[in-house]
Amino acid sequence: MQTSLSVQEIYSIVYQEHRDPFQILGPHIVESNGKKTVVIRCYLPTAQEAYIVALDNQREYKMELLHVHGFYEVVCPEREEVFPYLIKVLRKDGTETSFHDSYSFMPGLTNFDIYLIQQGCHYRTFEKLGAHIAEMDGVRGVYFAVWAPNAKSVSVIGSFNSWDRRFHAMRTLGTSGVWEIFIPGIGSGEAYKYKITTHDNFSFDKTDPHGFYCEISPNTASIVYDLNQYEWHDKEWLEKRIDRQKKSAPVSIYELHIGSWVRDPKNPKRMLSYGEVAHRLVNYVKEMGYTHVELLPIMEHPFYGSWGYQCLGLYAPTSRYGTPDEFRYLVDLLHQNDIGVILDWVPAHFPTDAHGLAYFDATYLYEHADPRKREHKDWNTYIYNYGRYEVKNFLISNALFWLEKYHLDGLRVDAVASMLYLDYSKRPGEWTPNRFGGRENLEAVSFLQECNDLVQKFYPGVLMIAEESTSWPKVSGPTYLGGLGFTNKWNMGWMNDILRYMSTDPIYRKYQHNVLAFSIWYAFSENFVLPLSHDEVVHGKASLIGKMPGDVWQRFANLRILFGYMFAHPGKKMLFMGNDFGQWNEWAHESSLDWHLLEDEPHKKLHRFVKDLNFFYREHPAFYENDCSSEGFEWCDYNDADHSVIAFWRKAEKEKLLFVFNFTPIPWNNYQLGVETKGVYREIFNTDSELYWGSNFGNMGRVEAWESSWYGKPYTLSLQLPPLGMIVLKVEEVVPEKNADEEKVDTEKKQREEQPIEKDKPKEIKTTVEVKQAEAKVISEMPPKEAKIELKTSEEKKKE
C-alpha cells in the first residue's frame, strides 16, 4: 500500500518541525476502499532495519524505509484495530534492541488539567509537569511534561537516547503550551534535559523547571527521581503541629546553612550529606532547646556563593548534600524529635543562567518582557511575571510542593519588599508604575495573598514568614482585611535598632535610650519574629560578638544581655548558627563553624547561657502566651536614660514576670524600682551568673517589695543590678491587702496584747508601718556593696 503521507509531513518529522508528531508517528487506522487498516510509522535514525512485533500473536511486520534519515512505515492489512506491539531495531552497528513505541500512548494530562494550568489554579502541577515514573497501558516508564508555549518543537534528551533530540520529540497539547511524552523502559536515575527549538531553528538545552533532582553543579541535567518511595514516621508531629506553631506557642528558631554548619573534620573542604548532618543537628538542637530550625535555601542553585538565594531548581533539593530522600530523612528525624523545620523560599527572583528559566522558550516566559519590570539590578537576576497565570501557578504549586512532599512546617519568604514595590532599588526612569499610577506591584500582592490563603487552606498551622523591611501595612494580617496573609513578619526595624544600640559604647547609650522603648510602639502591629540572622554577620558587618564594644569580658556580657533582651521582647526568636557560642569570625560559607571555640571558657559558658535561656523561655508562658497582644506587655520603667536601665512586665494568664536590664558595665547597688504588687520577688534568672562567665552580682535569690511609693507605684523594690545584665523576677509570695474592718480588728487585738502583765515593764512596741520604715532607713543608710566583678581578659582568667 502506498503511503498516505505527504513529503512535507515526513520532512516535519525528520527535521523536528511538527508540533504534534503523534499525528504522524505511532499507530493509526486508515481507511482505503471502505476497508480499515492499521498503519504504524516510526522515526528511527540509527536503524538499519525495523520490525513491528505484535504482542498478541508475536507476528513480525517488516517496516519500509520512506526516508533515508530513518522514517519507517508498515501496513498491517489484516488488522482493523490498534494492537500492542514492540519495535525491533537492527542498528547500523550490528546491535539489536526492542522497545515499546512512545508514540503509541495517549496523553497523560486531561483536558481539565490543561484548563486549570491555563487558568493559573492547578495547585498540584508538580504531579503533572516534570518527570514522573508511571505505568501506562501496563508498561512502566517515565512521563515527561513541560510548559514552553512559544517553542517550535521540544524533545526529551538524555543518557537513554544518547542526548539525541531526534528520538523523543514531544507533542503540544492544544493551545496550552504544554509538551508531553511517555518514554517506556526507563526509570529513576536517568539524566535528562529538554531540547527546545525556536521558530528561527535555534536549539538549546534547558533543565526541567519541575525537576525533582539535579546533577551536582557545575553539571546541569535533571535526574528522574521517584518521590513516592519514602516512608514517613512523623505522624505524631504533624498531628500536634498546629498547637506547636500557634501564636501563643514558644518559637525559638535556629537558622543554619547546611553546607557550612559542620564539615568533615578529616577533609574540611567536604560538605556533609543530609544524612550525615541529620543526627548531629537533631542532637545539637535538642540539647540547646530550640523549637525549630530554619534552613537557608536548599533548592538547587548553580552558584554556591549565593547561599541558595539564586535558585533555578525550585522543585529539587540541591544534590550537593545528597538525594531528595536523604533530605526527607533529615526532616523526618527532626520531626520525630519534636523539632519544626522552616525553609527559606525565594519567589522574588531567579538567576539568568542559560540552562534555567531565563528566556526559557526563546521568549520572556517566566520573566517580564519589559526590562523595567524584568531586571533586578542589585542581584543581576530576573523578576517573576506574577501577572501571568502559569507563572503564578508555578510558584504557588512550588510552595505547596515543599509542604506536601517534604512535610515542611513553614516557609520564610525572602525579599518580600522587592516584590511589593515596582521601584525597589531603582532610580527614576528605571521602573514603570502600575495601572493606577502607583509604585505597588499589584500582581505580586495578589500572588502573595493567594499563596498564603492556599497554604493555610491545605496545611493549617504552617508558618509563612515574610522577610519584609518596609512599613507595608498588615503583612501578617488576614487577606479578608486587606492583609498579605503571612503568619509572621521579620522585625527588621527592631533588629537594626538594637544592633546599632548595642554597638554603641555604653557611655553614650543614654543618648539612644529611646531605641529601647520605640520598638514597643509597633510591636503588636504585626506578628513579629525577632531575627538575628545570617545577613548581620557577613560582608564586613562583623560577627555579633565582634559588634559588641569593650574588652573581652564586656563583649560577652553585652552579647548575653542582647540575647536576654531579644527573648524578653515580644515576638518569636531567631538566632543564626555560630552566634550562640560567640564565633569571632564572620560567617563563611566555604568552611565550617569554629566549633573549637567551645574549648575556651567564655565561649563554652555563653553556649550554656543560650541553652539555659532557651529552656527558660519555653518553661515560662509569660514569654510567649501573649506574644502578639499588648495584654502580654507592661512597662515598669523606661525613663531612666542616665542609668541605661529599663524594666517591663511580660504577662500570661497564670504568670507574670518582671525583666530588668542594665545596659552599662556599672553595677547599680540598691536600685529602686516602683511596682504595683507587694510581696517577695524571687530572682529566677540572671545573665551575670558565674555559670555564664559573669560576675555573679545579684539579689541573693530574692528581694521583698516594701510599702513606699516610687514614681507613682505604691511599693518599691531595692535591687542589685548586675553590669551589662538582665535579671528576671517573679512574685513568689503576695502579701494580701487588708480592708478597713480587718485593720480595725488587728488594731484592737494589738492593743489587748500590749497591756502590761503584772510587774513587768511595759515594752515599746512598734507598728508594722514603723518597722518597715525603720528597715527602709537602715537599708538606705547601708554603704553600697562593692560589685564583685573584675573586667579581665580571657588570657588573665586562664592564668588564674
Catalytic residues: 414, 467
Nearest to 330 by CA among 435, 219, 407, 430: 407
CA 51 to chain centre: 54
Q: Please, which contacts does 775-782 make with residues 24 or more away whose CB atoms are closer than 8 Å? A: 775/706, 776/706, 776/708, 779/670, 779/718, 780/670, 782/670
Q: Please, which contacts does 776-779 make with residues 24 or more away whose CB atoms are closer than 8 Å? A: 776/706, 776/708, 779/670, 779/718
Whether 558 and 502 have beta carbons less than 8 Å apart is answered as yes
Distance CA 288, CA 282 (A): 10
Whether 334 and 341 have beta carbons less than 8 Å apart is answered as yes
Helix (H) or strand (E) holding 454: helix 442-458
Whether 363 and 328 have beta carbons less than 8 Å apart is answered as no
- Grid cell 510567649 — which residue? 624
Distance CA 406, CA 419 (A): 26
Q: Which amino acid type is present at position 282?
A: V
Distance CA 484, CA 51 (A): 61
Strand partners, 270: none
- Grid cell 526516508 — which residue? 67
Question: Residues near 434 by Cβ (< 8 Å), separated by ≥ 6?
Answer: 422, 440, 441, 442
Question: Residues near 236 by Cβ (< 8 Å), separated by ≥ 6?
Answer: 336
**CA dist list (Å): 481 to 237, 439, 464:** 31, 21, 17
Q: Which amino acid type is present at position 164?
A: D
Whether 716 and 710 have beta carbons less than 8 Å apart is answered as yes
Distance CA 315, CA 412 (A): 16
Q: What share of the chain is helix, strand, coil (3-state, %, to 5)?
A: 30, 25, 45
- What radius of gyration, in Å, describes the C-alpha atoms of the chain? 35
What is the secondary structure of 245-262 as a DSSP string?
TSTTS--EEEEE-HHHHS
Helix (H) or strand (E) holding 613: helix 601-619
Q: Cell numbers at residue 459, please? A: 496545611
**CA dist list (Å): 614 to 246, 252, 568, 724:** 18, 7, 11, 20
Whether 213 and 225 have beta carbons less than 8 Å apart is answered as yes
Give the number of residues written for the chain. Answer: 800
Distance CA 338, CA 236 (A): 9
Whether 721 and 688 have beta carbons less than 8 Å apart is answered as no
Nearest to 378 by CA among 439, 425, 415, 444: 425
